Structure formats: structure tokens, C-alpha cells
Amino acid sequence: AQKVTQTQTSISVMEKTTVTMDCVYETQDSSYFLFWYKQTASGEIVFLIRQDSYKKENATVGHYSLNFQKPKSSIGLIITATQIEDSAVYFCAMREGITGNTGKLIFGLGTTLQVQP
């Protein structure tokens, strides 16, 4: 069965450092898509970045990048030069190709990131 696991409940880092948040997933599908979302203190949920399973290159958007390790079923989110505003809960999610046009996502439980000044 499909599953997304975020083992880190919370992380605290100093501002301007780099942080990596872990995510592992389980799927029987050969084609799948992985997403990271950010939920701010106000509750807003924002899409950050996507990795397609058939792409070997790690996705990068702004100061977010991914560490996609397909053999390990792992998709880590890397935030470089962290800012106070990066403090939030980060969710990893997966969509399997077999879900067709449902677009259904399976979410992990999230990792709370606190960036200290």
C-alpha cells in the first residue's frame, strides 16, 4: 500500500544555515510524483516543489531543492540560507501514476521547522 513517512517531527536551525527534511515513501507504481508543501503559522498551505519519478535531475526552485534517491524511496527537501520566514510545517506528498486523473495525493504527517535568529 502507498505510504509517505516523515520521521522528523521537528527541527530547529539557526538562520542562514542549510536544513534537510527527510521523507520516505512506499509505492508499487513505476511512475509517481512527489511534492512538498509548506503550511505557515496562519494555516495557509502552499505548494513548493515537485519531483517526477522518471527524472534523474533533482528539482530546484529558488532556495528549495530536492535530494531524490529513488533506490532508497527517499525525497529530501533542502532549504539553503534559511530565513525566519521559513519557519513552518513542511509536508511531503506523493501521487501515483495509476491514480490516473484523480490527482489524489497521500500526505506525510509533516515536519515542523523552526528557524532561530
Partner 1 sequence: EAAVTQSPRNKVAVTGGKVTLSCNQTNNHNNMYWYRQDTGHGLRLIHYSYGAGSTEKGDIPDGYKASRPSQENFSLILELATPSQTSVYFCASGDAADFYEQYFGPGTRLTVL
Is residue 46 a contact point for partner 1 (CB under 8 A)?
Answer: yes
Using the Cα atoms of residue 40, residue 77, residue 63 and residue 33 in order, give the sign of their dihedral: negative
Is residue 26 a contact point for partner 1 (CB under 8 A)?
Answer: no
Is residue 57 a contact point for partner 1 (CB under 8 A)?
Answer: no
CB of 43 to partner 1, least distance (A): 5
Can you tell me which of 25, 53, 68, 95 binds partner 1, judged by CB under 8 A?
Answer: 95
115 in Cβ contact with 14 (< 8 Å): yes
The Cα-based distances of 103 to 9, 23, 81, 100, 109 in angstroms read 27, 20, 32, 7, 19
Instruction: Kindly list the residues in this chain that would bind partner 1 in the complex (CB under 8 A).
Output: 33, 35, 37, 43-47, 50, 52, 91, 95, 101-105, 107-110
